[in-house]
Amino acid sequence: MNKEVEVKIKIENFDDIKKKISIQGRLIKSIRQIGEYYIPFHRDFLLKNLIRQNGCG
């Protein structure tokens, strides 16, 4: 069973990390994913970008 884990972290040096990945890593395969997202009636997550506003991601 495959499990997907998504982690959000704040980084200061994105360009450095991207450069290291391009040097040390390699593309194994490319896939296209289509997701379905549902908005609960009691909270519209599209109204505000709360994660970035409160500094948690």
Residues of the chain with pLDDT > 90, as a percent, come to 30
pLDDT at site 4: 80
DSSP codes of every residue in 1-57: -----------S-HHHHHHHHHHH----------------TT--TTS--HHHHTT--
pLDDT digits (tens, 9 = 90+) for 22-47: 999 998 999 888 878 777 778 776 66
